[in-house]
Structure formats: structure tokens, C-alpha cells
Structure 1
Amino acid sequence: MHRIAPALIAQLFSFLSVGALATALQYAIATLLALAAGLDLVAASTIGFLISAVFNYWANARLTFAAQSNHTRDRGQQLRFAAMVVLGCAMNAVLLRIAVSLGMHAVLAQLIATAGVLAANFALGHLWVFRRH
């Protein structure tokens, strides 16, 4: 049986911790925009996603993928992260729209969308965005 390297497990734990904080930020912004400002759920979630992406990049570059990442300003890494954010944002919006159209409660729909984006982002972050090129 293939063993998962302890470093990869630690990296996944750090990624999940940073992601939990970024997700809490996204949800807080989305809730505020949807409930207080009356914005559409998908639009509110998208704005929250984009704002939380800034924190997510900063924390993952310095904490989760620090060993793989160049600590100096790496434009290529920033562009790869931006591409990952665009993909994740689109995935979030599409999954959320599908789940809501199927009649799911907004909270459950957002949790499903978040799970899909989380899986894609860890794979992209580990294999492409923060990998030394």
C-alpha cells in the first residue's frame, strides 16, 4: 500500500486551515451582501470569494506552500494563482447555481460548491501554482 508522505499531510492540514479561514471570510461577506444589501446569492458569494482570495494567496504562499514557493515577488506564481482563483470562482458560481436550481437550501448549496472548489484548489496549488518552476 502506498503511504502518503507526512509532509503532504501537514501541507493538506495547513491548506485546510487557511481555507477554513478564507471560507469563513467569504461566507461572512456573502451573508452580509445577501441579507443586508439584498444582493443575489451567486453574486454575493462571488464577491466574497474574490475578496477572500487575497487572504488565501497570502497565507498559502507564506504558510502552506512556503517550502515550494519563492518568497520573493514571483509574478508567475501570482498569475497562476489568479488563474486558479478565476477557475475556482467560476466553479463556485456554477456549482452554486446548479444546486440552487435543484431546490437545495442556500447553505447546503454553498457547502457543496465550497467542497468542489476546495478539492480543485488543493490539487492546483500543490501541483501547479506553488510548485517551483
Structure 2
Amino acid sequence: MIDKLKTNPKLAEFIRFIIVGVLATALHYGIYLALEYGIGLNYNMAYTIGYLLSFIFNFFASTFFTFQSEANAQNGIKFAGAHLINYFVHMFLLNFFIFIGIPGGIAPVFVFPIAIIINFFMVRFALKK
């Protein structure tokens, strides 16, 4: 497996993306649950705050670890643009799943897999030359 990762840099990059994505998603979901159920904040507001905090972690982890590029203003702007689109995908899906009757505490579990796939391609485009 290690040899396959050494000879296939795109596979290694994707695995690093998964690692960062899992950590960012866990951070996002943990903050969301703590704010909504811990202090009773509106689910849209709690989700947004969790998204913003995980975004900061995600930018630095994606830049340095996943795509091994540099953290500069240009990459930051492109990354933020990709995540702005992704944020609206998240919010649409979250509200859709809640609208169809999925409880707010579980709805993000359905949002994350869809949004993460879309996000991979947008972030890769933003941070890779």
C-alpha cells in the first residue's frame, strides 16, 4: 500500500484530503451540536459558526498537508470562493433534510457525504496549479 501511494501522488493526495476532511467535518459537527443542543442556538446559526471555524482549520490543513501548496492571499481567496459555494450547498442540503423530516441533530450526517465530494474538486481546483 505504501508503494502504491509513493507511485500514485493523486491517490496519496486524495487520502490526505480524506484525513483532513474527516477532521474538519468532526470539528464542524461537534461545534454544531454543542451550539444547537448545548446552548440552544438556532440550527442555521450553529451550523454556520461550525462551518466557519472548521473552514479556518481546513484552509491551513488543506494548504500545507493535503495539497502541499503555500498559504498566500491568492490561494486563500480561491479557497474561500470554493468554500462559499460549498457553504450554500451545505445550507441548502441541511434545510432540505430538515424540511423532509430528518431531525436537526442527524441531518448533517446526510449533508456531509454529498458536500464533501463536491468540495474535493472545488478545493483541488483552487489550491493546485
- TM-score by structure 1 length? 0.86
Cα distance in 1 for partners of 2:27, 2:107 equals 17
Cα distance in 2 for partners of 1:46, 1:113 equals 14
Aligned partner of 1:21: which letter? L
Task: State the match for 2:63 in structure 1.
Answer: 61
After alignment, is 53-62 or 81-90 more displaced? Answer: 81-90
Task: State the match for 1:32 in structure 2.
Answer: 34
* CA RMSD, 1 decimal: 1.4
Aligned residues: 123
Which of residues 112, 122, 126 in structure 2 aligns to 1:129?
126
Structure 2 residue 111 is the aligned partner of structure 1 residue 109 = no
SS in 1 for 2:102: coil
Deviation at 1:6, TM superposition (A): 2.1
Q: Name the structure where helix makes up a greater proportion of residues.
A: 2
Cα distance in 2 for partners of 1:58, 1:108 equals 28
- TM-score by structure 2 length? 0.88
Q: Percent identity?
A: 28
Unaligned runs of 5+ in 1: none
Unaligned runs of 5+ in 2: 1-6
User: Runs (4+) of structure 1 moved beyond 4 Å?
Assistant: none
Question: In 1, are the aligned partners of 2:24 and 2:58 still within 8 Å (CA)?
Answer: yes
Deviation at 1:35, TM superposition (A): 0.9
